[in-house]
């Protein structure tokens, strides 16, 4: 194992998690839903605090691992979370309730985020998490850019597409979409991007004012 691999492994194992997060992670795996890794969950928690986020939107609820992470250290933040799969959303409601998250801090929406997000208020969110079908990544990102305020953050986990993005031989739809997004934000004067190797890659960016 190389030094970089040891560093990555250490970082993945380092963050502690609440009992609620451990339960949600276990439930995700039982249902075949891939949750964000522990290090990515820790980054989500920190980004919410660093952004001073009060209004958070999540595209792709899963069963609540990311949502719990986003709210972990932000007791005044509210979460709007959108999920296509009704079963996952039902499980997420139970996860949030068991974790003691008040219903007033949650708006869980069942539906296709490509249709739901354009109906949300423009520039109304401090932080937007995009964790949905990578083949639709560019459309989700464009919609997220519309609802995040100037100075707000968009976070996209999984941008390495299970390690395929750095492999020039990988040309599947999801991998190409991730590469296209990375190229787009790297070249845009309206975005300040940051790419982390945590988990399966985390793209975080700030929408610049103007």
Q: What is the pLDDT of residue 209?
A: 81
What is the per-residue pLDDT for 1? 83
Residue 50: other Cβ atoms inside 10 A: 12
Using an 8 Å Cβ cutoff, are 159 and 135 in contact?
Answer: no
Which two tokens mark 137?
């990544």
**Quick one: pLDDT at residue 210?**
62
Between CA 28 and CA 192 the distance in angstroms is 32
Please report, for residues 42, 53, 78, the alpha-carbon distance to residue 152 in angstroms, rounded to integers and kept in the order given.
Answer: 19, 8, 15
Question: What is the Cα–Cα distance from 94 to 63, expressed in whole angstroms?
Answer: 9
Give pLDDT < 50 ranges for the chain.
none
pLDDT at res. 104: 96
SS3 content of the chain, % helix, strand, coil (to 5): 45, 20, 35
Q: What is the pLDDT of residues 194-210, one digit of tens each?
A: 999 999 999 999 999 86
Looking at residue 172, its pLDDT comes to 95
- Quick one: which of 194, 205, 181 has its CA closest to 128? 205
Q: What is the pLDDT of residue 126?
A: 98
């Amino acid at each position: 194992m190389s030094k970089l691999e040891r560093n990555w492994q250490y970082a993945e194992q380092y963050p502690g998690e609440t009992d609620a997060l451990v339960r949600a992670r276990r439930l995700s795996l039982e249902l075949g839903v891939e949750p964000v890794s522990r290090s990515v969950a820790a980054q989500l928690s920190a980004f919410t605090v660093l952004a001073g986020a009060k209004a958070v939107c999540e595209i792709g609820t899963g069963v609540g691992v990311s949502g719990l992470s986003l709210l972990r250290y932000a007791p005044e933040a509210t979460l709007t979370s959108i999920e296509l799969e009704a079963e996952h959303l039902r499980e997420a409601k139970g996860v949030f309730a068991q974790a003691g998250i008040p219903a007033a801090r949650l708006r869980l929406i069942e539906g296709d985020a490509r249709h739901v997000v354009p109906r949300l208020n423009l520039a109304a969110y401090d932080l937007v998490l995009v964790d949905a079908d990578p083949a639709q990544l560019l459309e989700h990102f464009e919609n997220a850019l519309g609802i995040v305020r100037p100075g707000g953050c968009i976070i996209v986990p999984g941008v390495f597409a299970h390690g395929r993005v750095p492999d020039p031989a990988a040309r599947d739809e999801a991998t190409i979409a991730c590469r296209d997004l990375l190229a787009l934000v790297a070249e845009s004067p309206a975005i300040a991007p940051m790419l982390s190797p945590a988990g399966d890659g985390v793209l975080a960016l700030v929408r610049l004012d103007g």
